[in-house]
Amino acid sequence: MWRWRHEFDHRKLRARVRQLREQRGWSQEQLAERSDLNRSYVGEIERGRVIPSIVTAQRLAHALQLNAAGLLARGEQIEQQRTARGIDLAALAC
């Protein structure tokens, strides 16, 4: 049986959720209302403090008008860009 919480890198999801929410000009509260979640829980997901269940990820995807695969599609790329920026900033600091 596939284990969502153990095999999925939730950093990708949190990056994607925040990116898509901000692209739409939505607040965390607006996304929470559209996905039938608590606003503070959406914030915790975006900060990586909680790992959402697959049901929660599906609710977020539906609210963002995507399927679950679409929600996860670019999360890895976003995380790589953030890592690269961190490396670039570290090089400038030297």
Structural domains of the chain, with CATH: 4-93 (1.10.260.40)
pTM above 0.75, yes or no: no
DSSP string of 19-51? HHHHHTT--HHHHHHHHT--HHHHHHHHHTSS-
More confident: 30 or 16: 30
- Interval 59-85: pLDDT, tens: 999 999 998 777 777 545 555 565 666
How would residue 35 be classed by pLDDT, with cut points 50, 70 and 90?
very high
